[in-house]
Chain A
Amino acid sequence: GEDVEQSLFLSVREGDSSVINCTYTDSSSTYLYWYKQEPGAGLQLLTYIFSNMDMKQDQRLTVLLNKKDKHLSLRIADTQTGDSAIYFCAESMRNFNKFYFGSGTKLNVKP
């Protein structure tokens, strides 16, 4: 299978920016995704980026993709306590019948 790796924990103060990083191994991935999982809930899609894009911005969220290094990041501006959750990156293959998920990064936002 594919390897999608993330750091396990990130702690930031409320109002700061958070940057969650992800690396993947398969250069043939077509889309890359960020999902958020709050305690006791399923996965909520936050944003996604097509593999031929470098950047995508959506309100407080900025996704950066470095295809050469196979590195994906999610920046959350002005992080709030409600952003505390586990964030999963995922990649899909060409025909979308396989998605590979990272281990998840637990974001802790301190007031």
Chain B
Amino acid sequence: SAVISQKPSRDICQRGTSLTIQCQVDSQVTMMFWYRQQPGQSLTLIATANQGSEATYESGFVIDKFPISRPNLTFSTLTVSNMSPEDSSIYLCSVIYAGENIQYFGAGTRLSVL
């Protein structure tokens, strides 16, 4: 199993501000992903975080709104910029370890934007 620490676990933010979410893994992983789960819905992949280079974004998500960093093989951040109430969601970090075929998830960050 994996040890994935995601911070903060929840936050309430004001419209127009930004929030940075951190994801720390217990050991090196090959792949890190960021997902959004809107209330009552399934997971939507935002981007794949690439170590040392720009993240790979899915259709509908852009770097200006969701900048992502991955400075090393165990850590990544996702920033939700210029927030609006529509950004209220759970944001989930997930990882895949080398040689494995399983995606492990962090506990998520519950974001409410007022």
Chain A residues with CB under 8 Å of chain B are 30-31, 33, 35, 40-45, 48, 88, 90, 92, 96-99, 101-104
Return the contact of B105 from the options A43, A98, A103 (Cβ within 8 A).
Answer: A43
Return the contact of B92 from the options A30, A43, A90, A92 (Cβ within 8 A).
Answer: A43
Given known contacts A41-B108, A42-B92, A97-B31, A92 and B43 CB-to-CB distance under 8 angstroms: no
Stretch of B66-74, B76-84, B95-103 contacting A (4+ beta carbons < 8 Å): B95-103
Residue of A nearest to B102 (CB): A45
Chain B residues, CB < 8 A from A45: 102-104
28 contacts between A and B (CB under 8 A): A30-B101, A31-B101, A33-B102, A35-B105, A40-B110, A42-B6, A42-B106, A42-B107, A43-B43, A43-B92, A43-B94, A43-B105, A45-B102, A48-B101, A48-B102, A90-B103, A92-B101, A96-B31, A96-B96, A96-B101, A96-B103, A98-B45, A99-B45, A101-B42, A101-B43, A102-B42, A103-B42, A104-B42
C-alpha spacing A41/B109, complex, angstroms: 9
Q: Shortest beta-carbon distance, A29 to chain B, in Å?
A: 11
Apart from A44-B105, A96-B101, A98-B45: 14 A-B pairs, beta carbons within 8 A: A40-B110, A42-B6, A42-B92, A42-B106, A43-B92, A45-B104, A48-B102, A90-B103, A92-B101, A92-B103, A96-B96, A99-B45, A99-B103, A101-B43
Q: Shortest beta-carbon distance, B59 to chain A, in Å?
A: 9
Chain B residues, CB < 8 A from A88: 42-43
Chain A residues, CB < 8 A from B106: 42
Q: Shortest beta-carbon distance, B64 to chain A, in Å?
A: 23
B105-A42 in contact (CB<8A): yes
